[in-house]
Amino acid sequence: MDLLEQLEVQRVINASGRMTALGVSTLDEDVIAAMALAARSYVDIDQLQRQVGAKIAQLIGAEDAMITTGAAAGVALMVAASITGADLTRIQALPDTMGYPNTILIQAGHQVSYGADITQLIRIAGGRPHPIGSVNSVSEAHLTGAIGSNVAAFLFVQSHHTVQKGMLSLKQVISLCQTHNVPVLIDAAAEEDLVRFTGSGADLVAFSGGKAIGGPTTGIVAGRRDLVEACRAQNAGIGRPMKIGKEALVGLYTATAKYMQRDVEAEQARCTQLVDEMLAGFNQVVKTERLVDEAGRRIERAGVVIDAGKAAELVAFLRKGNPPIYPRTHLVNLGIVAFDPRPLGDGDVAVIIERVHAFFAR
Protein backbone atom coordinates (compact mmCIF):
# COMPACT_ATOMS: atom_id res chain seq x y z
CA MET A 1 0.00 0.00 0.00
CA ASP A 2 1.49 3.37 -1.03
CA LEU A 3 1.19 6.59 0.92
CA LEU A 4 -1.83 7.95 -0.97
CA GLU A 5 -3.70 4.71 -0.30
CA GLN A 6 -2.81 4.96 3.37
CA LEU A 7 -4.23 8.47 3.37
CA GLU A 8 -7.31 7.22 1.47
CA VAL A 9 -6.71 9.75 -1.30
CA GLN A 10 -7.46 8.78 -4.89
CA ARG A 11 -5.16 9.47 -7.80
CA VAL A 12 -7.00 11.28 -10.57
CA ILE A 13 -6.57 11.69 -14.31
CA ASN A 14 -6.01 15.37 -14.82
CA ALA A 15 -7.46 16.48 -18.16
CA SER A 16 -8.12 19.98 -16.89
CA GLY A 17 -4.68 21.58 -17.13
CA ARG A 18 -2.08 22.90 -14.72
CA MET A 19 -4.64 23.44 -11.97
CA THR A 20 -3.89 24.27 -8.34
CA ALA A 21 -6.86 22.17 -7.20
CA LEU A 22 -5.34 19.06 -8.83
CA GLY A 23 -1.77 19.48 -7.64
CA VAL A 24 -0.65 21.75 -10.51
CA SER A 25 2.12 19.58 -12.08
CA THR A 26 4.01 16.35 -11.67
CA LEU A 27 7.72 16.82 -11.10
CA ASP A 28 10.59 15.77 -13.35
CA GLU A 29 13.01 13.27 -11.79
CA ASP A 30 15.84 15.80 -11.91
CA VAL A 31 13.72 18.27 -9.96
CA ILE A 32 12.83 15.63 -7.38
CA ALA A 33 16.52 14.70 -7.02
CA ALA A 34 17.54 18.35 -6.54
CA MET A 35 14.88 18.83 -3.88
CA ALA A 36 15.99 15.66 -2.07
CA LEU A 37 19.59 16.89 -2.06
CA ALA A 38 18.55 20.27 -0.64
CA ALA A 39 16.45 18.54 2.01
CA ARG A 40 19.62 16.94 3.39
CA SER A 41 21.50 20.24 3.74
CA TYR A 42 21.58 23.34 5.91
CA VAL A 43 21.99 26.64 4.06
CA ASP A 44 21.68 30.37 4.60
CA ILE A 45 18.15 30.78 3.22
CA ASP A 46 18.58 34.46 2.34
CA GLN A 47 21.73 33.67 0.36
CA LEU A 48 20.02 30.77 -1.42
CA GLN A 49 16.93 32.89 -2.17
CA ARG A 50 19.06 35.66 -3.66
CA GLN A 51 21.24 33.28 -5.71
CA VAL A 52 18.28 31.33 -7.08
CA GLY A 53 16.48 34.58 -7.86
CA ALA A 54 19.50 36.00 -9.67
CA LYS A 55 20.04 32.85 -11.74
CA ILE A 56 16.36 32.55 -12.67
CA ALA A 57 16.37 36.24 -13.62
CA GLN A 58 19.24 35.53 -16.03
CA LEU A 59 17.32 32.62 -17.53
CA ILE A 60 14.15 34.62 -18.17
CA GLY A 61 15.66 37.98 -19.09
CA ALA A 62 14.88 40.04 -16.00
CA GLU A 63 17.04 42.37 -13.88
CA ASP A 64 16.30 40.35 -10.74
CA ALA A 65 13.81 37.87 -9.31
CA MET A 66 12.65 36.44 -6.02
CA ILE A 67 10.83 33.22 -5.22
CA THR A 68 7.66 32.94 -3.19
CA THR A 69 4.97 30.38 -2.44
CA GLY A 70 2.96 30.99 -5.60
CA ALA A 71 1.87 33.57 -8.15
CA ALA A 72 -0.93 34.77 -5.86
CA ALA A 73 1.61 35.53 -3.15
CA GLY A 74 3.66 37.22 -5.84
CA VAL A 75 0.77 39.54 -6.67
CA ALA A 76 0.40 40.55 -3.02
CA LEU A 77 4.15 41.16 -2.71
CA MET A 78 4.26 43.22 -5.92
CA VAL A 79 1.42 45.41 -4.69
CA ALA A 80 3.06 45.82 -1.28
CA ALA A 81 6.41 46.70 -2.86
CA SER A 82 4.83 49.35 -5.09
CA ILE A 83 3.25 50.97 -2.03
CA THR A 84 6.01 50.73 0.59
CA GLY A 85 9.25 50.39 -1.35
CA ALA A 86 11.89 49.11 1.06
CA ASP A 87 10.75 51.42 3.91
CA LEU A 88 10.65 49.15 6.97
CA THR A 89 8.22 51.36 8.89
CA ARG A 90 5.72 51.25 6.05
CA ILE A 91 6.30 47.52 5.51
CA GLN A 92 5.56 46.68 9.13
CA ALA A 93 2.46 48.89 9.13
CA LEU A 94 0.77 46.93 6.33
CA PRO A 95 -2.07 46.61 5.54
CA ASP A 96 -2.42 50.13 6.97
CA THR A 97 -1.34 52.48 4.17
CA MET A 98 -3.20 55.62 5.15
CA GLY A 99 -1.31 58.78 4.28
CA TYR A 100 0.60 57.65 1.19
CA PRO A 101 -0.25 56.43 -2.35
CA ASN A 102 -2.10 53.12 -2.17
CA THR A 103 -4.48 53.04 -5.16
CA ILE A 104 -4.00 50.07 -7.51
CA LEU A 105 -5.66 50.53 -10.89
CA ILE A 106 -7.16 47.45 -12.57
CA GLN A 107 -9.41 47.04 -15.59
CA ALA A 108 -13.00 46.19 -14.66
CA GLY A 109 -12.84 43.04 -16.80
CA HIS A 110 -9.75 41.88 -14.91
CA GLN A 111 -11.46 41.71 -11.52
CA VAL A 112 -11.55 37.92 -11.49
CA SER A 113 -11.44 35.06 -9.05
CA TYR A 114 -9.31 31.98 -9.61
CA GLY A 115 -10.06 30.41 -6.26
CA ALA A 116 -9.67 33.78 -4.51
CA ASP A 117 -10.65 37.26 -5.63
CA ILE A 118 -7.69 39.17 -7.02
CA THR A 119 -8.91 42.39 -5.41
CA GLN A 120 -8.53 40.72 -2.00
CA LEU A 121 -4.86 40.09 -2.80
CA ILE A 122 -4.55 43.82 -3.44
CA ARG A 123 -6.22 44.67 -0.13
CA ILE A 124 -4.07 42.19 1.82
CA ALA A 125 -1.06 44.25 0.73
CA GLY A 126 -2.67 47.51 1.77
CA GLY A 127 -3.76 48.48 -1.71
CA ARG A 128 -7.07 50.06 -2.59
CA PRO A 129 -8.40 48.46 -5.80
CA HIS A 130 -9.72 51.01 -8.27
CA PRO A 131 -11.45 49.41 -11.28
CA ILE A 132 -11.49 51.44 -14.47
CA GLY A 133 -14.03 51.22 -17.29
CA SER A 134 -16.73 48.58 -17.62
CA VAL A 135 -16.51 44.79 -17.70
CA ASN A 136 -16.72 44.86 -21.50
CA SER A 137 -15.19 48.21 -22.38
CA VAL A 138 -12.11 50.07 -21.14
CA SER A 139 -10.63 53.03 -23.04
CA GLU A 140 -7.35 54.89 -22.79
CA ALA A 141 -9.33 57.84 -21.42
CA HIS A 142 -10.51 55.66 -18.52
CA LEU A 143 -6.90 54.97 -17.61
CA THR A 144 -5.48 58.46 -18.00
CA GLY A 145 -8.47 59.91 -16.15
CA ALA A 146 -7.88 57.61 -13.19
CA ILE A 147 -4.18 58.43 -12.78
CA GLY A 148 -3.58 60.77 -9.88
CA SER A 149 -1.23 61.41 -6.99
CA ASN A 150 -2.66 58.54 -4.92
CA VAL A 151 -1.97 55.85 -7.57
CA ALA A 152 0.77 53.38 -6.59
CA ALA A 153 0.60 50.97 -9.55
CA PHE A 154 -1.48 49.37 -12.30
CA LEU A 155 -2.18 45.63 -12.11
CA PHE A 156 -2.66 43.85 -15.44
CA VAL A 157 -4.09 40.32 -15.25
CA GLN A 158 -3.02 38.03 -18.10
CA SER A 159 -5.42 35.11 -17.81
CA HIS A 160 -8.14 33.14 -19.57
CA HIS A 161 -10.35 34.09 -16.61
CA THR A 162 -10.45 37.74 -17.65
CA VAL A 163 -12.68 39.38 -20.24
CA GLN A 164 -10.76 39.10 -23.51
CA LYS A 165 -12.65 41.70 -25.56
CA GLY A 166 -12.89 45.43 -24.97
CA MET A 167 -9.94 45.65 -22.59
CA LEU A 168 -6.80 47.73 -23.04
CA SER A 169 -3.91 45.65 -24.30
CA LEU A 170 -0.78 45.18 -22.22
CA LYS A 171 1.12 47.33 -24.72
CA GLN A 172 -1.36 50.18 -24.34
CA VAL A 173 -1.28 49.97 -20.54
CA ILE A 174 2.52 50.00 -20.38
CA SER A 175 2.80 52.93 -22.80
CA LEU A 176 0.27 55.08 -20.92
CA CYS A 177 1.58 54.18 -17.47
CA GLN A 178 5.19 54.88 -18.41
CA THR A 179 4.15 58.34 -19.60
CA HIS A 180 2.75 59.03 -16.12
CA ASN A 181 5.46 57.16 -14.14
CA VAL A 182 3.01 54.55 -12.85
CA PRO A 183 4.57 51.08 -12.28
CA VAL A 184 2.89 48.23 -14.17
CA LEU A 185 2.52 44.89 -12.42
CA ILE A 186 1.52 41.77 -14.38
CA ASP A 187 -0.14 38.67 -13.01
CA ALA A 188 1.04 36.14 -15.62
CA ALA A 189 0.60 33.08 -13.44
CA ALA A 190 -0.04 30.43 -16.08
CA GLU A 191 1.82 31.97 -19.02
CA GLU A 192 4.31 29.87 -20.97
CA ASP A 193 6.43 32.54 -22.71
CA LEU A 194 8.21 34.00 -19.70
CA VAL A 195 10.61 36.15 -21.71
CA ARG A 196 7.73 37.86 -23.50
CA PHE A 197 6.50 39.32 -20.24
CA THR A 198 9.82 40.15 -18.62
CA GLY A 199 10.73 41.97 -21.82
CA SER A 200 7.42 43.77 -22.17
CA GLY A 201 8.46 46.93 -20.33
CA ALA A 202 6.42 46.09 -17.23
CA ASP A 203 8.03 46.81 -13.88
CA LEU A 204 7.22 43.51 -12.15
CA VAL A 205 5.75 40.20 -13.32
CA ALA A 206 4.44 37.29 -11.24
CA PHE A 207 4.61 33.74 -12.62
CA SER A 208 3.59 30.41 -11.15
CA GLY A 209 6.56 28.11 -10.70
CA GLY A 210 4.36 25.05 -10.68
CA LYS A 211 2.24 25.57 -13.80
CA ALA A 212 3.94 26.02 -17.18
CA ILE A 213 7.43 25.66 -15.67
CA GLY A 214 6.52 22.34 -14.03
CA GLY A 215 8.33 23.03 -10.76
CA PRO A 216 7.20 22.61 -7.17
CA THR A 217 4.41 24.82 -5.79
CA THR A 218 6.18 28.19 -5.97
CA GLY A 219 6.00 31.59 -7.60
CA ILE A 220 8.42 33.98 -9.26
CA VAL A 221 8.38 37.76 -9.06
CA ALA A 222 10.70 39.22 -11.69
CA GLY A 223 11.54 42.67 -12.97
CA ARG A 224 13.07 45.93 -11.83
CA ARG A 225 15.88 45.33 -9.34
CA ASP A 226 14.75 47.98 -6.86
CA LEU A 227 11.18 46.70 -6.80
CA VAL A 228 12.29 43.07 -6.48
CA GLU A 229 14.39 44.18 -3.50
CA ALA A 230 11.28 45.87 -2.09
CA CYS A 231 9.44 42.56 -2.51
CA ARG A 232 12.18 40.81 -0.54
CA ALA A 233 11.90 43.44 2.17
CA GLN A 234 8.28 42.34 2.73
CA ASN A 235 9.71 39.28 4.53
CA ALA A 236 9.76 41.55 7.57
CA GLY A 237 6.01 42.00 7.17
CA ILE A 238 3.28 40.36 5.11
CA GLY A 239 5.86 38.30 3.20
CA ARG A 240 6.67 36.25 6.29
CA PRO A 241 3.77 33.77 5.81
CA MET A 242 4.72 33.56 2.12
CA LYS A 243 8.28 32.39 2.73
CA ILE A 244 9.71 29.52 0.73
CA GLY A 245 11.93 26.62 1.85
CA LYS A 246 15.27 25.40 0.53
CA GLU A 247 13.81 22.34 -1.20
CA ALA A 248 11.37 24.40 -3.25
CA LEU A 249 14.00 27.01 -4.10
CA VAL A 250 16.39 24.43 -5.50
CA GLY A 251 13.59 22.51 -7.20
CA LEU A 252 12.28 25.62 -8.95
CA TYR A 253 15.73 26.60 -10.20
CA THR A 254 16.24 23.12 -11.64
CA ALA A 255 12.79 23.12 -13.24
CA THR A 256 13.24 26.61 -14.73
CA ALA A 257 16.64 25.76 -16.21
CA LYS A 258 15.14 22.68 -17.88
CA TYR A 259 12.02 24.55 -18.98
CA MET A 260 14.02 27.23 -20.78
CA GLN A 261 15.85 24.48 -22.73
CA ARG A 262 12.74 22.47 -23.61
CA ASP A 263 11.85 21.45 -27.17
CA VAL A 264 8.73 23.57 -27.65
CA GLU A 265 7.84 22.08 -31.03
CA ALA A 266 8.19 18.49 -29.81
CA GLU A 267 5.93 19.21 -26.85
CA GLN A 268 3.41 20.91 -29.13
CA ALA A 269 3.46 17.91 -31.46
CA ARG A 270 2.87 15.55 -28.52
CA CYS A 271 -0.14 17.57 -27.39
CA THR A 272 -1.56 17.77 -30.91
CA GLN A 273 -1.31 13.99 -31.25
CA LEU A 274 -3.14 13.46 -27.96
CA VAL A 275 -5.89 15.88 -29.00
CA ASP A 276 -6.19 14.08 -32.35
CA GLU A 277 -6.58 10.74 -30.56
CA MET A 278 -9.27 12.09 -28.23
CA LEU A 279 -11.21 13.78 -31.03
CA ALA A 280 -11.12 10.60 -33.12
CA GLY A 281 -12.37 8.57 -30.16
CA PHE A 282 -15.09 11.03 -29.11
CA ASN A 283 -16.30 11.54 -32.70
CA GLN A 284 -17.68 8.02 -32.69
CA VAL A 285 -20.39 8.99 -30.18
CA VAL A 286 -20.68 12.79 -29.98
CA LYS A 287 -19.98 16.05 -31.78
CA THR A 288 -16.50 17.45 -31.10
CA GLU A 289 -14.46 20.59 -31.58
CA ARG A 290 -10.77 21.40 -31.47
CA LEU A 291 -10.49 24.26 -29.01
CA VAL A 292 -7.84 26.98 -28.86
CA ASP A 293 -6.79 28.68 -25.65
CA GLU A 294 -8.95 31.63 -24.64
CA ALA A 295 -5.97 33.77 -23.61
CA GLY A 296 -3.91 33.23 -26.75
CA ARG A 297 -1.41 30.64 -25.51
CA ARG A 298 -0.31 27.85 -27.87
CA ILE A 299 -2.59 25.33 -26.20
CA GLU A 300 -5.19 23.22 -27.97
CA ARG A 301 -7.78 20.99 -26.34
CA ALA A 302 -10.31 18.36 -27.34
CA GLY A 303 -13.89 19.50 -26.82
CA VAL A 304 -17.09 17.49 -26.49
CA VAL A 305 -20.02 19.62 -27.66
CA ILE A 306 -23.45 18.88 -26.18
CA ASP A 307 -26.19 20.87 -24.44
CA ALA A 308 -25.30 22.53 -21.14
CA GLY A 309 -27.30 20.11 -18.98
CA LYS A 310 -25.67 17.05 -20.54
CA ALA A 311 -22.26 18.71 -20.24
CA ALA A 312 -22.67 19.07 -16.48
CA GLU A 313 -23.82 15.44 -16.28
CA LEU A 314 -20.76 14.27 -18.24
CA VAL A 315 -18.43 16.11 -15.88
CA ALA A 316 -20.12 14.56 -12.84
CA PHE A 317 -20.00 11.09 -14.43
CA LEU A 318 -16.29 11.34 -15.19
CA ARG A 319 -15.44 12.59 -11.71
CA LYS A 320 -17.30 9.75 -10.02
CA GLY A 321 -15.41 7.02 -11.86
CA ASN A 322 -12.38 5.01 -10.81
CA PRO A 323 -10.01 6.66 -11.37
CA PRO A 324 -11.80 10.03 -11.33
CA ILE A 325 -11.29 12.04 -14.51
CA TYR A 326 -11.24 15.83 -14.20
CA PRO A 327 -11.93 17.58 -17.53
CA ARG A 328 -11.79 21.34 -18.00
CA THR A 329 -15.11 22.92 -17.04
CA HIS A 330 -14.76 26.61 -17.95
CA LEU A 331 -17.18 26.25 -20.90
CA VAL A 332 -19.68 23.79 -19.43
CA ASN A 333 -22.39 26.49 -19.29
CA LEU A 334 -22.01 26.69 -23.08
CA GLY A 335 -22.31 22.91 -23.48
CA ILE A 336 -18.60 22.24 -24.00
CA VAL A 337 -16.49 19.84 -21.93
CA ALA A 338 -12.79 20.28 -22.71
CA PHE A 339 -9.87 17.90 -22.27
CA ASP A 340 -6.38 19.37 -21.88
CA PRO A 341 -3.60 17.11 -23.21
CA ARG A 342 -0.66 18.62 -21.30
CA PRO A 343 -0.97 16.72 -17.99
CA LEU A 344 -1.94 13.39 -19.55
CA GLY A 345 0.29 10.37 -19.05
CA ASP A 346 0.63 7.01 -20.76
CA GLY A 347 -2.70 5.25 -21.11
CA ASP A 348 -4.81 8.21 -19.93
CA VAL A 349 -6.31 8.96 -23.35
CA ALA A 350 -7.64 5.42 -23.73
CA VAL A 351 -9.29 5.59 -20.29
CA ILE A 352 -10.86 8.98 -21.08
CA ILE A 353 -12.27 7.78 -24.42
CA GLU A 354 -13.64 4.61 -22.82
CA ARG A 355 -15.39 6.57 -20.08
CA VAL A 356 -16.88 9.13 -22.49
CA HIS A 357 -18.24 6.23 -24.53
CA ALA A 358 -19.67 4.69 -21.35
CA PHE A 359 -21.51 7.92 -20.55
CA PHE A 360 -23.26 8.03 -23.92
CA ALA A 361 -24.00 4.30 -23.84
CA ARG A 362 -25.98 4.55 -20.59
CA distance 340 to 168: 28
Q: Which residues, 6+ apart, have CB-to-CB distance to 95 below 8 Å?
A: 123, 124, 125, 126, 238
How confident is the model at residue 19, as a pLDDT?
86
Q: Are 155 and 187 in contact (CB under 8 A)?
A: yes
Of 243, 259, 275, the residue at which a domain comes to its end is 259
For residue 179, being part of any structural domain is answered with yes
Domain termination residue (choose one: 259, 282, 307): 259
- Are 186 and 140 in the same domain? yes
Q: Are residues 214 and 323 in the same domain?
A: no
- The CATH number for 268's domain is 3.90.1150.180
C-alpha distances out from residue 41 to 36, 68, 87, 246, 257, Å: 9, 20, 33, 9, 21
Q: Residue 75 has what pLDDT?
A: 97
Sequential pLDDT tens for the chain (362 residues): 588 888 888 899 999 988 888 888 899 999 999 999 999 999 999 999 999 999 999 999 999 999 999 999 999 999 999 999 999 999 999 999 989 999 999 999 999 998 889 999 999 999 999 999 999 999 999 999 999 999 999 999 999 889 989 999 999 999 999 999 999 999 999 999 999 999 999 999 999 999 999 999 999 999 999 999 999 999 999 999 999 999 999 999 999 999 999 999 999 999 999 999 999 999 998 899 999 887 778 889 999 999 888 999 999 999 998 999 999 998 999 999 999 999 999 899 999 999 999 999 98
Distance in angstroms (rounded) separating the CA atoms of residues 25 and 33: 16
What amino acid is encoded at 192 in this protein? Answer: E
- Per-residue confidence (pLDDT) for residue 1, from 0 to 100: 55
Task: Let me know whether 306 and 200 are in one domain.
Answer: no
Q: How many CA atoms lie within 13 A of 160 on its CB side?
A: 18
Is residue 255 domain-shared with residue 298, that is, in the same domain?
A: no
Closest CA to 191 of 130, 139, 259, 250: 259
> Is residue 97 in a domain?
yes
221 & 110 share domain: yes
Distance, CA of 151 to CA of 147 (rounded, Å) = 6
pLDDT score, position 224: 97
- In this structure, the answer to whether residues 8 and 47 fall within a common structural domain is no
Residue where one domain finishes, among candidates 225, 259, 293: 259
The residue segments making up the domain with residue 147 are 42-259
252 in the same domain as 275: no
- Residues 189, 251, single domain; the answer is yes
In angstroms, rounded to a whole number, what is the distance separating the alpha carbons of residues 204 and 218?
17
The answer to whether residue 28 is domain-embedded is: no
Distance CA 42, CA 33 (A): 16
Examine residue 196 and state whether it is found in any structural domain, yes or no: yes
57: nearest Cα among 195, 150, 156, 250? 195
Give the total number of structural domains in the chain.
2
